[in-house]
Structure 1
């Protein structure tokens, strides 16, 4: 069995990367949106470091996913899909990839420009600073990080909504192509005539 994407659906590696990144993005959104409401205690800094480390993980996974897509290809479009929908899906996917890479980079840039304590990936590996401390870039990166998140949130809603629309209203395989195949039931045994 090949791990590459067959012509009719996404393969297991693509599915794993898709759903893992989606889950981590959801966690990042919850943590990021709750940071301002947390008191500045040691727990706050633990949560903040978790957010940054998970963001770096998403960045790495997004690069792996993009490389895998270039290597493994993509399935063909669903038969009968209107050209405008295929074009819109292509643009949306491109923007999703760009944002999933740009948001962690802007967070890393914000952290670097802040000039605060070292950024350690899950406390294990110290990450290099992208630039020296700089208040102007710090604010620009912070603003970009927040705005890009909201653009990503909007695109995710559109992306998920389109998949659900195709599943429930068009009845096609758009959503099923990104889900693991169901095991086919064994054929029922037929009674023997005596």
Structure 2
């Protein structure tokens, strides 16, 4: 198998789009707030997308367990294989931890896409502070991982020309 499955590819790109949107929302809150009724609307959408990313990541892990992952790197290149597995594991960990810690540190209910209200969890202020600190610090690790992931994919495509990136791109129709 030299490609990810269609569900894996669709979930990857949907997750990528949602994560990039979620990164943009807080930084562009003045712009997005015009369309979402102010900062409250921006953070309602941010939290809703975050919880969607959490659900998609859990689904991705189930799909990956079922379909496996293709062998896109040469078997003799152990360093690349170990680095790729470690990078993917850390990405998955952060895609789970960021929404969870965001949910944990909030003191107000989360209004999921303005449809369903999720009450805040009954946690101590110390636990909330720890979750908030993790969330705000880990975002920079996530940004670095995203940039590294994209850069390595482009390096494989344009420098190595080895088909690694094509394994995650939608299949071309002929």
Do the aligned partners of residues 38 and 175 (structure 1) sit closer, same or farther apart at CA in structure 2, a change above 3 Å counting? Answer: closer
Q: Which residue pairs with 1:102 in the alignment?
A: 97
2:126 to 129, 133, 136: 136
* Structure of larger gyration radius: 1
Question: Structure 1 residues 123 and 81 mapped into 2: Cα distance closer, same or farther (>3 Å)?
Answer: farther
Tell me the CA shift for residue 36 of structure 1: 8.6
Once the two structures are superposed, the pairs formed by residues 118-157 of structure 1 within 5 Å of their partners are 118-132=109-123, 134-157=124-147
SS at match of 1:151: helix
Deviation at 1:128, TM superposition (A): 4.1
Q: Which secondary structure state, in structure 1, belongs to the residue aligned with residue 38 of structure 2? A: helix
- Displacement, 1:109? 0.3
Gaps of 5+ in 2: none
Measure how far apart 1:48 and its partner are: 1.1
Distance in 2 (alpha carbons) for counterparts of 1:166 and 1:80 = 16
The answer to whether the Cα contact below 8 Å between 1:31 and 1:47 also exists between their aligned partners in 2 is: yes
Q: Deviations over 1:25-58 (max 9, x none)?
A: 001001122349999x951111111111111111
1:22 aligned to 2:22? no
Task: Provide the residue aligned with 1:183 in structure 2.
Answer: 173
Partner of 1:83: 78
Which consecutive unaligned segments of at least 5 residues does structure 1 have?
Answer: 1-6, 185-194
How many residues end up aligned between the 2 structures?
172
Looking at structure 1, the residues matched to 165 and 60 of structure 2 have their Cα atoms a distance apart, in angstroms, of 19
* 2:158 pairs with one of 154, 165, 168: 168
**CA RMSD across the alignment:** 2.1
Are residues 1:13 and 2:4 paired? no
| Alignment match of 1:56 (pick from 33, 40, 51) | 51
What secondary structure is seen at the aligned counterpart in 1 of 2:70?
Answer: coil
> Which SS does the other structure have where 1:126 is aligned?
strand
Whole-Å separation in 2 of the counterparts to 1:23 and 1:81: 33
1:67 to 62, 71, 74: 62
TM-score, normalised to structure 2's length? 0.90
